[in-house]
Amino acid sequence: MSSPQADPYARAAAKFALSCKLASIEALIDWDAQTNMPKGGAWARGEQRGALAEVTSDLTGTPEIGALLDEAQGYADKLDEAERANLAEMRRLYAHRAAVPKELVVERARVSQQLQADWLEAKAKADFSLFAPGFKKLMAIHKEVAAAKGAALGLAPYDAMMDEQDPGLTCAIIDPIFEDLAADLPGLLAAVRERQAGWPAVIEFSGDFSVAKQKVLSERLAHIVGHSPETSRIDVAPHPFSMPHSPGDVRFTTRYSEDKFRYGVMATLHEAGHSMYELNLPRTHAFSPVGFARGASAHESQSLMLEMMAGRSKEFLRFLAPVLHEHLGGDAACWSATNVLNFVRRLDDDYIRVNADELSYPLHVILRYRLEKALLAGDLSVDDIPGAWNEMFGKLFGRVPPDHAKGCLQDIHWAAALFGYFPNYALGESLAAQLFERACADDPAILPALGRGDFKPYFAWVKPRIHDQASLKSFDEIVIGATGTKLSADALKRHLKRRYLDEALD
Amino acid sequence: MSSPQADPYARAAAKFALSCKLASIEALIDWDAQTNMPKGGAWARGEQRGALAEVTSDLTGTPEIGALLDEAQGYADKLDEAERANLAEMRRLYAHRAAVPKELVVERARVSQQLQADWLEAKAKADFSLFAPGFKKLMAIHKEVAAAKGAALGLAPYDAMMDEQDPGLTCAIIDPIFEDLAADLPGLLAAVRERQAGWPAVIEFSGDFSVAKQKVLSERLAHIVGHSPETSRIDVAPHPFSMPHSPGDVRFTTRYSEDKFRYGVMATLHEAGHSMYELNLPRTHAFSPVGFARGASAHESQSLMLEMMAGRSKEFLRFLAPVLHEHLGGDAACWSATNVLNFVRRLDDDYIRVNADELSYPLHVILRYRLEKALLAGDLSVDDIPGAWNEMFGKLFGRVPPDHAKGCLQDIHWAAALFGYFPNYALGESLAAQLFERACADDPAILPALGRGDFKPYFAWVKPRIHDQASLKSFDEIVIGATGTKLSADALKRHLKRRYLDEALD
């Protein structure tokens, strides 16, 4: 390799660096679409997204790039470790992009842009028929994409869809974990319900739950976790998310309900967790594939560790209770640590995944996973989604959503062309439990510190093991490196039993 | 031409369509940088802008594109009129992009991103030395760019810089207009000052000038002009601007001063004028070079027609006075039409271009134009800007800015790599006067309608003559088509004398 111009690795890496910057831009324009964009901008935003998809495909999905990557692979032993990992990521991304005709990717972006507008309206009106026509178009594209990727990657269609955001995860890995949870959780749920029936009633919360008050509370929570206005901001979006891929700007969104302040608190902790991962990714590898977070399940583990593991720990809730009182006012009695714990830990009868308690959450995901597999296999038609959803929901939870806004229209993912994405939420919860259990065992100071609102020991354990790793190692290597074992549902089951069957209210 | 694949025009147009979408994205990420971005995002935003510049250069500045455009030119007589105009625009853009090495464009974007952060700090501290080092880097790039473009386009360096945003405008056209104004305005200013010395003192304004009240007032003004939340939104930025190139999303920014509510009102009218132009551009030509607005001077004419010509007309101010009272409260006496007119029309001693009255405004621009030409020619060094600015300001206005924040650091343009851009502000004012004079002559209903807050007759005249034309015709053709003559300073001089020497206060 006499010069960067002649060095196939460097030439390919430069193209992928550009594509990473375009991914960063795409994340920003998506953030804007969810937070700021006037409705009239939907068409133009679709064109913009299509353009980014087209340029990305031209940069990193062409036969020339494939040849460059093959050449680079030929002297991979001369690259350093990070370069080899980057090359592996580039080869994976290339395989995904080359497998699918560019026109199809552009079309998917366009259809999805319109479908997100349709979804907003369909959800507002609880009318699935406003969503179905666009989603049929999108499903036809998904089927084509999944078949093409499956053929190129030697994977089953649904596995190929998952591999893009969660490399290496397949149904063969997921199914035993999900079967384990599906077998265990309904019984556990019943036992916890019985136990909680003996708890005193939650004292109703009083205070000022205006959006203005909750906004200041959210900013306080973000600060407690470790965020600063220098590198983050909090806005409102119907479906909260954290903006990825933008070093130094890890803004996220939340939502506020004046009826249920818990939603805002939990969404803020959740997204603050995602954003801490993005904030801590190593700047040396910024804007290269190896510098990205290690897949969707790893990302979700970071949000759920904060929201569920740390955020619902007795230690943190004891710290949180007076903070809530300080910000929201009202009677001191309702803001006692015991009452807050009683409230946060209590199972409820919600229909919405993002509101779900720790025990129900995986079942919400398993439902979507099963429906998605059936949709992609052609065993379920789009028009039959509402019926299938309600039937499966009834079997898992013993009740049926009152309307489709609280049922199959609740999530933005299908509108946003995220398909094969849901499994990571339950895998992320399993990983969150596995990491948190090990973290607390490794450093007994973590839980007491959370009791003082101090997340430093927590992140001191997490950062080197997860955040600093970016995509330098595989998912399995990172999980084993941090916890000693591969991902399973064992820690989550232990955690749920310990927290929900053993822990006392005070 | 058997197929679009083989048709050189269609192939080139597709590349330029992509580049127009990237321009649209760039406008959005710039909007975000001014309104929302945490400070920590500056580095990543620079990388994003650099990536867009690089991709745009690869799409539309390569020898292959040059060859395609030459081929298409060979059968231009077989294209329809809009296609021919689009081809001409593509050839112009190609000439600009091909003339400059891609690395230089990328570097300019990066340097400018950092310089905008430097500028914010320099302005806040009124310290030019914080701005100078970055601006020296940028000036070195500008000189290289101007020389390269000049050579490629057969233009003098400064003309070449102007041609990018204002095609066809050269110093040869500008100089006589600016000399005309520079000769006439100081005398006119003195005469108006003398006349206004005989006016009663302005009754001080009372009311609630909080940002919250002004925000609602701005939204009311935008609605009066013709905007809707469906296609627009108003945010706050230190230097107000309107976001271009995004059909259906013509958001703009304004600023609020609790001391001087006039700033917010005028900035809102100004940017609302820009955004109406963007809103009305023909959707058929969206995302093609021919569908863009016809250059910076034409754009500025649309903002200044609203802010200055219509917005400071006696008719509109009579309508506006009770609207201001309604929104801001306070004593009825100060909100009389006569007092509002006395206030708005009165010359002040401001140092800031964007606050300037109609008479002083062109002199502010002429100052910057002269400095820029000297900087580019090497007759003025960056370190000597503050001294040169203050000296020339003293000659033109008979006073000197108290600090550099109110002097040479007041505008964002130099930080934002806009160079050769200022002239359009004074050309825009001249054109605004020429258009408004003709509009009111063509349709005597326009002024009475403004007196009712009705902009429909106004836009009924402007839209077909300016907005619908996009870049389908040259600047001169559009000006002559609308007003019968080429652009000159005559109408502006007539307008200023009529309004400021002849019109009574009531």
Tens-digit pLDDT profile for residues A90-134:
999 999 999 998 889 889 988 998 999 999 999 999 999 999 999
| Tokens 């080197």 sit on residue | A464
B235 membership: H or E segment, kind and range: strand B234-236
Residue B166 has which token pair? 């204002």
Using an 8 Å CB-CB cutoff, list residues of chain B that contact chain A.
18, 21-22, 24-25, 28-29, 32, 36-45, 47-48, 50-52, 54-55, 59, 229-233, 246-249, 251, 286-287
Is 70 exceeded by the pLDDT of residue A242? yes
CB B138 within 8 A of CB B115: yes
Is the CB of B54 less than 8 angstroms away from the CB of A247? Answer: no
Dihedral (CA of A22, A24, A29, A30) sign: positive
Is 60 exceeded by the pLDDT of residue B15? yes
Mutate to test the interface with B, among A21, A22, A245 (most CBs of B within 10 A): A21
pTM: 0.93
Is 50 exceeded by the pLDDT of residue A1? no
**How many whole angstroms separate alpha carbon B338 and alpha carbon B333?**
10
Is the CB of B38 less than 8 angstroms away from the CB of A247? Answer: no
Using an 8 Å CB-CB cutoff, list residues of chain A that contact chain B.
18, 21-22, 24-25, 28-29, 32, 36-45, 47-48, 50-52, 54-55, 59, 229-233, 246-249, 251, 286-287
Per mean pLDDT, which range of A17-31, A208-222, B154-168 is the poorest?
B154-168
Q: How is B402-470 classified by DSSP, letter by letter?
A: SSTTTTTTS-STTTTT--S-THHHHHHHHHHHHHHHHHHHH-TTHHHHHTTT--HHHHHHHHHHTGGGT
Mutate to test the interface with A, among B31, B48, B219 (most CBs of A within 10 A): B48
Is the CB of B28 less than 8 angstroms away from the CB of A24? Answer: no
Residues of A in Cβ contact (< 8 Å) with B37: 249
Is the CB of B28 less than 8 angstroms away from the CB of A22? Answer: no
Is the CB of A38 less than 8 angstroms away from the CB of B231? Answer: yes
Phi-psi region of B429 (alpha: psi -120 to 50; beta: other; left: phi over 0): alpha
Chain B closest CA to A245's CA: distance in Å?
Answer: 9
Is the CB of B28 less than 8 angstroms away from the CB of A29? Answer: yes
Residues of A in Cβ contact (< 8 Å) with B229: 38
Region B489-498: mean pLDDT is 98
Dihedral (CA of A214, A215, A220, A225) sign: positive
Chain B CA closest to residue A246: B44
**How many whole angstroms separate alpha carbon A417 and alpha carbon B21?**
21
Is the CB of A51 less than 8 angstroms away from the CB of B18? Answer: yes
**How many whole angstroms separate alpha carbon B492 and alpha carbon B355?**
19
Q: pLDDT for A55-96, tens place per residue?
A: 999 999 999 999 999 999 999 999 999 999 999 999 999 999
Residues of B in Cβ contact (< 8 Å) with A246: 41, 44
CB B309 within 8 A of CB B462: no
Is the CB of B29 less than 8 angstroms away from the CB of A29? Answer: yes
Q: What is the dihedral of CA A205, A210, A211, A215, to 10 degrees?
A: -70
Apex A170 CA angle, A167 and A173, nearest 5:
115
Is the CB of A21 less than 8 angstroms away from the CB of B51? Answer: yes
Mean pLDDT of chain A, nearest integer: 95
- Judge residue B81's burial from the number of C-beta atoms within 10 Å of its C-beta, 0-12 exposed, 13-18 middle, 19 or more buried: exposed
Residues of B in Cβ contact (< 8 Å) with A54: 18
> Up-side HSE of residue A344: CA atoms within 13 Å toward CB?
30
Residues of A in Cβ contact (< 8 Å) with B38: 229-233, 248-249, 251
Count contacts between A and B (CB, < 8 Å): 110
**How many whole angstroms separate alpha carbon A400 and alpha carbon A391?**
8
Q: pLDDT for B370-381, tens place per residue?
A: 999 999 999 999
Is the CB of A24 less than 8 angstroms away from the CB of B48? Answer: yes
Q: pLDDT for B210-220, tens place per residue?
A: 999 999 999 99
Is the CB of B249 less than 8 angstroms away from the CB of A37? Answer: yes
Q: What band does B2 get if pLDDT is binned at 50, 70 and 90? A: very low
Chain A CA closest to residue B231: A40
Q: What is the distance, to the nearest Å, from the Cα of residue B7 to the centroid of all Cα atoms in its chain?
A: 37
List Cβ neighbours of B502 (8 Å cut-off, separation of 6 or more). Answer: none
Mutate to test the interface with B, among A34, A47, A232 (most CBs of B within 10 A): A47
Strands (DSSP E) along A2-127, which ranges?
A: none
Dihedral (CA of B412, B417, B422, B427) sign: negative
Is 70 exceeded by the pLDDT of residue A21? yes
CA proximity to B368, closest of B306, B309, B412: B412
Apex B288 CA angle, B88 and A38, nearest 5:
150
Residue B457 has which token pair? 């007759």
| Tokens 């389908």 sit on residue | B472
Is 90 exceeded by the pLDDT of residue B404? yes
Chain B closest CA to A484's CA: distance in Å?
Answer: 36
Based on DSSP, count helices (H) and strands (E) in chain B, helices before strands.
20, 2
Euclidean distance between the first and the last CA atom of chain B, given in angstroms as a whole number: 67
Residues of B in Cβ contact (< 8 Å) with A46: none
Q: What band does B349 get if pLDDT is binned at 50, 70 and 90? A: confident
**How many whole angstroms separate alpha carbon A362 and alpha carbon A366?**
6
CB atoms within 10 A of CB A291: 23
The values of phi and psi at residue A216, to 5°, are -65, -40
Residues of A in Cβ contact (< 8 Å) with B28: 28-29, 32, 48
| Tokens 């004593």 sit on residue | B331
Q: What band does B4 get if pLDDT is binned at 50, 70 and 90? A: low
Q: Output DSSP code: residue A464.
A: I
B323 membership: H or E segment, kind and range: helix B314-328
**How many whole angstroms separate alpha carbon A330 and alpha carbon A207?**
4
Dihedral (CA of A194, A199, A201, A205) sign: negative
Is 90 exceeded by the pLDDT of residue B478? yes
> Up-side HSE of residue A461: CA atoms within 13 Å toward CB?
21
CB B221 within 8 A of CB B262: no
> Up-side HSE of residue B27: CA atoms within 13 Å toward CB?
22
A235 membership: H or E segment, kind and range: strand A234-236
Residue A146 has which token pair? 């999944």
Chain A closest CA to B259's CA: distance in Å?
Answer: 26
Percentage of residues in chain A having pLDDT higher than 90: 91
Q: What band does B3 get if pLDDT is binned at 50, 70 and 90? A: low
Q: What crossing angle do the helices spanning A385-397 and A361-377 adopt, rounded to 10°?
A: 150
**How many whole angstroms separate alpha carbon B461 and alpha carbon B463?**
6
Task: State the catalytic residues of A.
Answer: 271
Is the CB of A43 less than 8 angstroms away from the CB of B247? Answer: yes
List Cβ neighbours of B408 (8 Å cut-off, separation of 6 or more). Answer: B128, B385, B386, B389, B390
**How many whole angstroms separate alpha carbon B331 and alpha carbon B207?**
7
List Cβ neighbours of B473 (8 Å cut-off, separation of 6 or more). Answer: B85, B294, B481
- Judge residue B242's burial from the number of C-beta atoms within 10 Å of its C-beta, 0-12 exposed, 13-18 middle, 19 or more buried: buried
Residues of A in Cβ contact (< 8 Å) with B24: 44, 47-48
Residues of A in Cβ contact (< 8 Å) with B48: 21, 24-25, 28
Mutate to test the interface with A, among B249, B285, B287 (most CBs of A within 10 A): B249
The values of phi and psi at residue B236, to 5°, are -105, 135
Is 90 exceeded by the pLDDT of residue B448? yes
List Cβ neighbours of B386 (8 Å cut-off, separation of 6 or more). Answer: B128, B404, B407, B408
Amino acid at A466: I
Dihedral (CA of A467, A469, A472, A474) sign: negative
Q: What band does B1 get if pLDDT is binned at 50, 70 and 90? A: very low
**How many whole angstroms separate alpha carbon A265 and alpha carbon A344?**
11
Chain B CA closest to residue A279: B40
pLDDT for residue A264: 94
* Residue from B89, B107, B271, B437 carrying the catalytic annotation: B271
**How many whole angstroms separate alpha carbon B164 and alpha carbon B457?**
33
Q: Where are the alpha helices (DSSP H) in A357-502?
A: 361-377, 385-397, 423-442, 446-450, 456-462, 475-483, 490-497
b (16+ CB within 10 A) / e for A155-170: bbbbbbbbbbbbbebe
Q: What is the dihedral of CA A21, A23, A28, A32, to 10 degrees?
A: 150
Residue B94 has which token pair? 């190609």
**How many whole angstroms separate alpha carbon B238 and alpha carbon B233?**
16
Residues of B in Cβ contact (< 8 Å) with A286: 44, 47
Q: Name the residue among B28, B43, B51 with its Cβ closest to that of A32.
A: B28
B234 membership: H or E segment, kind and range: strand B234-236
**How many whole angstroms separate alpha carbon A166 and alpha carbon B348?**
63
pLDDT for residue B238: 82
Chain A closest CA to B449's CA: distance in Å?
Answer: 28
CB A415 within 8 A of CB A118: yes
CA distances from B104 to B49, B142, B153, B259 (A): 13, 9, 18, 43
Q: Name the residue among B21, B41, B42 with its Cβ closest to that of A51.
A: B21
A114 membership: H or E segment, kind and range: helix A102-125
Q: What band does A252 get if pLDDT is binned at 50, 70 and 90? A: very high
Chain B CA closest to residue A229: B38
Q: What band does B5 get if pLDDT is binned at 50, 70 and 90? A: low
Is 80 exceeded by the pLDDT of residue A149? yes
Residues of B in Cβ contact (< 8 Å) with A51: 18, 21-22, 25
List Cβ neighbours of A67 (8 Å cut-off, separation of 6 or more). Answer: none
